[in-house]
Chain A
């Protein structure tokens, strides 16, 4: 039976960690994810978890500990944000290349310079090609649910790929919400026992982990690695469905909100999607046929499914909480635009960057976007393909 608790985002992740009780938790505290690490340390001190908690000297070392522990055969997690994720960079690629199903809770925060402790998606978006599965959460409940599912997805024998679960810094990590948490036993049963296939601690088998490749093998190994994340879509859907059957909250690649008869559509991830739902409701009351598509899984990107969901729409605005300097649009936009290319009757599409460094986005801002979309739908013309929301111009 589920219990309703008042928790903030960091506490929901820590609560899920306590219930799952991984073999090794290695993390270095960084704002705004510090409370996750602090709470895990407290759980360990209070004897509530049996796994090893390691606090190394940096995030680079934290991910290195995770890689070592996962290679040894353990179920492993970490938590970090922003500069911490940036410092993990080279180890992220190694975790993915070694196909170690590490789960990382990333509290999304802007990257310096200038220094900002507040939320945007620059950190995880920068890591989008590191080979990790990426799942983003709208609120504390989704952060809890996604984090639990991440273990099942990453550890699946066809996938065996690390997973990062994003939740927005402060907006989610530090905001109290009523969260349904499940029974310890039910969560443990859902994630199941972890069985490593090549545990280094099993001395009855001899093998080498992480050898050097020359020009004659590197390419084949990288192609071999791709197979894991390419197998993930089916597993993500299966796990999301089973989660729904078990706990009553089902998950897919993305959420569609009032999309059925929508002519115009906003695509936005994470916490801003919650505000956008209110904006959609108010716009619908005013007679505007608008819908929201909220991507949950960014890697692997569900390009086919998103294209199908946008088929027949007149105008789409993709909102990115991240800029990609010099690129043709921000990361989510380039993915969606590319996904639409094969549709014969493509909707018009525009990109807005919003919320960098924690800048607020409110219902009025979504209404402004809707106004622009309605104009594009009416005229069939895009005047500005790229813009910024709530920026002093």
Chain B
């Protein structure tokens, strides 16, 4: 995404593109771990969806489907809150390439 120069910005910090935070891929903040979804253990309680601070849990109707890694920061709250006896979400290691925040 090309970033505006100071002359190109709208005055007064006005952001004319309301809702463009979707362009900010917070998934680039992940540093080494990501959640993995184990569907056969899942009771679809939606706790993970409710606790995720970045709306990165993907659902379809009444079913949990997994994660949108473009926005998942790897914080692990979903795995922590997952209530099933055998966890439906576990944190696994991943190899990451560091990238600047907000880049597409």
**A-to-B contact residues, CB < 8 Å:** 97-100, 160, 197-198, 205-211, 213-214, 216-217, 219-221, 223-225, 227-228
B27-53 interface (Cβ within 8 A of A): none
The yes or no answer to B12 lying at the interface (CB within 8 A) is: yes
Q: Are B6 and A99 in contact (CB under 8 A)?
A: no
Q: Are A100 and B13 in contact (CB under 8 A)?
A: no
Give Cα distance in the complex from A319 to B4, angstroms: 44
The B interface is mostly helix, strand or loop, or mixed, namely loop
Q: Which residue of B has the minimal Cβ distance to A94?
A: B13
Report the contact-size class of chain B (Cβ under 8 Å from the partner): 10 to 19
Query: Chain B nearest CB: distance from A321 CB in Å?
Result: 33
Give Cα distance in the complex from A208 to B19, angstroms: 8
Give Cα distance in the complex from A99 to B13, angstroms: 8
CB contacts (< 8 Å) of A98 on chain B: these are: 12-13
Query: Chain B nearest CB: distance from A90 CB in Å?
Result: 15
Q: Are A214 and B4 in contact (CB under 8 A)?
A: no
Given known A-B contacts A206-B18, A207-B15, A208-B14, A221 and B9 have beta carbons under 8 A apart: yes
Query: Chain A nearest CB: distance from B101 CB in Å?
Result: 6
Q: Are A216 and B102 in contact (CB under 8 A)?
A: yes
Q: Which residue of B has the minimal Cβ distance to A209?
A: B14
Q: Are B101 and A207 in contact (CB under 8 A)?
A: no
CB contact between B102 and one of A198, A214, A225 (< 8 Å): that residue: A214
CB contact between B12 and one of A99, A219, A220 (< 8 Å): that residue: A99
Give Cα distance in the complex from A224 to B13, angstroms: 9
Q: Which residue of A has the minimal Cβ distance to B11?
A: A99
CB contacts (< 8 Å) of A99 on chain B: these are: 11-12
Given known A-B contacts A206-B18, A208-B18, A214-B101, A223 and B6 have beta carbons under 8 A apart: yes
Given known A-B contacts A100-B12, A208-B15, A224 and B6 have beta carbons under 8 A apart: yes
* B15, B19, B101, B102: most-surrounded residue (chain A CB, <10 A): B15
Give Cα distance in the complex from A341 to B16, angstroms: 43
Given known A-B contacts A206-B18, A223-B6, A160 and B11 have beta carbons under 8 A apart: yes
Q: Which residue of A has the minimal Cβ distance to B103?
A: A216
Give Cα distance in the complex from A318 to B102, angstroms: 50
CB contacts (< 8 Å) of B12 on chain A: these are: 97-100, 160, 198, 209, 225
CB contacts (< 8 Å) of B15 on chain A: these are: 207-209, 211
Some 8 contacts from A to B, beta carbons below 8 A apart, are A160-B11, A197-B11, A207-B10, A208-B14, A208-B15, A209-B15, A216-B3, A224-B7
Q: Are A210 and B11 in contact (CB under 8 A)?
A: no
CB contacts (< 8 Å) of B4 on chain A: these are: 220
Give 3 closest A-B pairs by Cβ, nearest first. Answer: A99-B12, A223-B6, A208-B15
CB contacts (< 8 Å) of A100 on chain B: these are: 12
Q: Are B9 and A213 in contact (CB under 8 A)?
A: no
Q: Are A220 and B13 in contact (CB under 8 A)?
A: no
Mask, B52-86, CB within 8 Å of A = 1, is 00000000000000000000000000000000000
Q: Which residue of B has the minimal Cβ distance to A210?
A: B13
CB contact between B13 and one of A197, A205, A211, A216 (< 8 Å): that residue: A211
Query: Chain A nearest CB: distance from B73 CB in Å?
Result: 15
The yes or no answer to B95 lying at the interface (CB within 8 A) is: no
Q: Are A213 and B14 in contact (CB under 8 A)?
A: no
* A100, A205, A208: most-surrounded residue (chain B CB, <10 A): A208
CB contacts (< 8 Å) of A205 on chain B: these are: 16
CB contact between A217 and one of B3, B14, B16, B19 (< 8 Å): that residue: B3
Give Cα distance in the complex from A149 to B12, angstroms: 22
Give Cα distance in the complex from A51 to B17, angstroms: 32
The yes or no answer to B5 lying at the interface (CB within 8 A) is: yes
Q: Are B13 and A209 in contact (CB under 8 A)?
A: yes
Give Cα distance in the complex from A98 to B5, angstroms: 18
Give Cα distance in the complex from A208 to B14, angstroms: 6
Query: Chain B nearest CB: distance from A336 CB in Å?
Result: 30
Give Cα distance in the complex from A225 to B29, angstroms: 30
Query: Chain B nearest CB: distance from A334 CB in Å?
Result: 27
Given known A-B contacts A206-B18, A209-B14, A220 and B9 have beta carbons under 8 A apart: yes
Give Cα distance in the complex from A211 to B15, angstroms: 8
Q: Are A207 and B14 in contact (CB under 8 A)?
A: yes
* B4, B14, B16, B17: most-surrounded residue (chain A CB, <10 A): B14
Q: Which residue of B has the minimal Cβ distance to A157?
A: B11
Query: Chain B nearest CB: distance from A160 CB in Å?
Result: 6
Query: Chain B nearest CB: distance from A199 CB in Å?
Result: 11
CB contacts (< 8 Å) of B5 on chain A: these are: 220
Given known A-B contacts A214-B101, A214-B102, A220-B4, A198 and B14 have beta carbons under 8 A apart: yes
